[in-house]
Amino acid sequence: MLAAVLLAVSCAQIGGPPGGPADTIPPQLVTAAPDSGAVGLAGLDRLQLVFSEKMERKPAESWLYLYPPADYRKTKWSGAREATVILSEPLPPDTVVIVEVGAGLRDAHKVVSKQSWRFPIATGARIPPGEIIGRLVYNERPLAQSGVVELYAVPPDSLEYYQQKPVRRAVTDSAGVYRLPWLPIPGGPYLLRVFNDGNGDLRLADNEGRRLLPDTVRVTAGQVTVDVGLTVVYDPTTPGLLRGHVDSLLMWPGPLYGWPEAIAEDDTGWAPYLETPPPAGLVKISLAEEVVFAEVPPGLNRLIFFVDADGDSAFSKLPAEAGTVDAAGREIDWFYEPHALIDSLLLEPGLEASFSQPHFATQLVPWFAAAGEDSAAGTAESDASETLDTPNAADAPDARNGK
């Protein structure tokens, strides 16, 4: 019986004696029909749920979830304690259905339940025994009773995983452990998304920490329980790391530097600009060692690398030889220092990502000052300028001796 599965519950009293204590006991789910574990329910088109006290009589869409999803035709309340939910269509044949009564239910005294309940029923002959378990940690502590885990089928290439409905949902216990039971064997592949449900509504909010586990999960034949281990959940603003190597600068001499730059939503692409003073996060790079950019904000980022040909530790400009012109016949007085770009690196909060080898062009980019300026604050003109081919180092401006 569902009552045995959910354990005994206490009943808050409606309309206590005058002057008595206020009702502070949250409502509980007491019984359900069909009961937990019921099978052979072909043609079932309704559910009956009984609560421990009188409830706010809201439609089932706001508190009842079925996996796989189903549409509801009507919610009928009887005496405010018993809800009958009539489905638009009978449950599909030979299917395991997970019934979830979500947290946030309020009784007639507006006391909110912070607990959610889940149990299986089946239109076929059995409930499968497959299970995925794991543990969540947040701020170096178990994510107790507020960690939510959503299980998704791996989508086709035409969809993102979150454009589908989750296959299952679970909440962590007091030790940060979650269980996703009643899965078919074999089953999957699945994706797991976990988040810290701080407001208790079972939905991911922008300010709630989250993770998408990097690997797909399968329940294979002969396997009942899959333990995916420990997952650390980070706040959405937690910075991360970018790692990689730079193996070659082609012909360009001088020390190498790089810095990360967040890509804003209205970003239209990167154009070279002079950096005075040096940008935040500037790293001097050794070709023999791994390059690490720390404290990089989560989201989309780019990396800018440059050869510090004039030795000022900043991305700056180099003098051109007298008489140098571009393809339009304009005289070129300055070039940007040799630089390279790696764009659109996605970094998850608190994690690290790798970047590939940057490629330095065999060209130098001319720098043209905006009218009345001796800086690249307005470089729209330089953005459209043609680059000057530099097929070998002998043709490049010699920044080492200032020529």
pLDDT in tens, the chain (403 residues): 554 444 333 333 334 445 556 678 999 999 999 999 999 999 999 999 999 999 999 999 999 999 999 999 999 999 899 999 999 999 999 999 999 999 888 999 999 998 899 999 999 999 999 999 999 999 999 999 999 999 999 998 888 898 999 999 999 999 999 999 999 999 999 999 999 999 888 999 999 999 999 899 999 999 999 999 999 999 999 999 999 999 877 678 889 999 999 999 999 999 998 877 788 899 999 988 999 999 999 999 999 999 999 988 899 999 999 889 988 889 999 999 999 999 999 999 999 999 999 998 888 899 987 543 444 333 333 343 444 444 343 344 443 333 3
CA neighbours closer than 13 Å in the CB half-sphere of residue 221? 0
DSSP codes joined into one string, 278-343: PPTT-EEE-TTS-EEEEEEPSEEEEEEEEE-TTSSSS--EEEPPTT-B-TT--B--EEEPPEEEEE
pLDDT of 2: 52
DSSP-based three-state secondary structure for 8: coil
At 381, phi and psi to the nearest 5?
-70, -40
At 62, phi and psi to the nearest 5?
-90, -5
Over the stretch 104-136, which tens digit does the pLDDT of each residue have? 889 999 999 988 999 999 999 999 999 999 999
Q: How many CB atoms lie within 10 A of CB 98?
A: 19
Q: Residues 153, 157, 159, CA angle at the centre, nearest 5°?
A: 65
pLDDT of 234: 95
pLDDT of 290: 95
pTM of full prediction above 0.85: no
Domain span(s) for CATH 2.60.40.3710 in the chain: 1-127
Tell the burial category of 34 from Cβ atoms under 10 Å away from its Cβ (0-12, 13-18, 19+).
Answer: buried
Decide if 156 contacts 179 (C-beta within 8 A).
Answer: no
CA distance 193 to 173: 17
402: left (phi over 0), alpha (psi -120 to 50) or beta: left
Domain span(s) for CATH 2.60.40.10 in the chain: 128-236
Tell the burial category of 132 from Cβ atoms under 10 Å away from its Cβ (0-12, 13-18, 19+).
Answer: buried
CA distance 102 to 62: 8
Task: Fold for 1-127, please state it.
Answer: Immunoglobulin-like (2.60.40)
| First-last CA distance in the chain | 88
Tokens in use for 214?
């990097």
Handedness of CA 121, 123, 126, 132 (dihedral sign): negative
Tell me how long the chain is: 403
| Cα–Cα distance list, 312 to 317, 334, 337, 361, 377 (Å) | 10, 16, 11, 22, 19
- CATH 2.60.120.10 fits domain 128-236: no
Pairing of strands 117-122, 96-101: antiparallel
pLDDT of 372: 38
CA distance 54 to 14: 7
What order do you get walking across the sheet with 96-101 strand by strand? 64-67, 96-101, 117-122
Q: Residues 302, 162, 202, CA angle at the centre, nearest 5°?
A: 110
The DSSP code for 107 is B
pLDDT of 21: 64
